[in-house]
Structure 1
């Protein structure tokens, strides 16, 4: 009996020791800071699920609310791409180290402007179904070249041309056609007309700043706002080597948040 007990104790000790060695052999989890920038006609809520997934993996996540979106009431005549840029730069200033900067749709214009100003603070740029301008281009330049986009005919400018509305019966079809009824309703419930001036502001980038930061593009393959064809042209023009894709409409963080989160976690390695 004594021999049996001693054998069991020895086996338990060896098992525990082996478990400790396995834990020591596992590589430590690399923690990162992600800064997430929403696009036009949307707000920080779109990142809720992705933020939760990234945070659960031990990462810090900063979600930016662009002026004139969400709960912000800045008058549209005071807004510009530079105002958006400075809001993101201010958010990044709270980070302890360089960040992975992620932009969706119009947010691609914003993150491009940001990295030109503070390249040393950005470890990677990630575009998700986003506009990616060359130097001297505005969002309107890129959008007007997109023959496959279905957005243009559904836009309704305000009388003073300071705001752009989208025909309400087309909102969910444009932005989240592949989403659940719940997510489609969220898009409708949070909808606000979009400030127009930033769409016309041109971006200036240089090889020394914008060109010095690694870039990743995540294509949205069912997108009818920024077509896959335009995405391909922008990727080629920017010389991006790392390209991923999600088989979704324009808002993959709402329709397929786990896929987006997995790609963002993969990108950080």
Structure 2
């Protein structure tokens, strides 16, 4: 029995019991299970006792579920760290710059030896929050190639819902280019942001990492308030590069509000940071 496996087992038990609400071994197995990988209570028990070790796929699931880096689960003694230390252990710059471990599932077109563009329909939004790094999740989803997009980049297509991002209408298919280093995102860039809880959203992104380790996400529809997302809750960011719509977007109203929106958004950001300081 290796020292690392023993430490992992201790950490898994600690994380399970510290979870709110506290999880049984059966509860944890159920939470980690997917359609193609059933994690049983006995498997969790064997991991905690050091009698077995998870494969990498399951290890990545555990890391994502508890929001703890894999290397920390394997090498740290988490029960000797206070809760605040665990939450702050991961370096923010490593996370935002892409230096830490990220799993990006990319189906390939074997005949053409190039990446496929997977289409995530609205009905798959909820599943994408947990399945974004699982190649099995993409197995039955539509896949395409688009000749007008530059080669050598990774793209993904999503179907949007709601009316928060005019002039794009509900049902529009948006195509995003994968961004590895989030520090390169320019203020107000329209991006598809994947989060741990919400799946994907299309928003304008404003960098608030210096002030609060967060992004401020804003809609182009003034009826929707901007909100903050902690960078540690963000899983992927895709820069919008194209969209496909069945309807011709009406830009006249959107253009007339652009200057007003930008002024309000700048004020919103200042107000958010002032409230935090108080």
- Which bracket does the TM-score occupy, shorter chain normalised? under 0.3
Which gives a bigger RCO, structure 1 or 2 (Cα 8 Å, sep 6+)? Answer: 1
Scaled by the length of structure 2, the TM-score of the pair is: 0.23
Scaled by the length of structure 1, the TM-score of the pair is: 0.24
Larger helix fraction of residues: 1
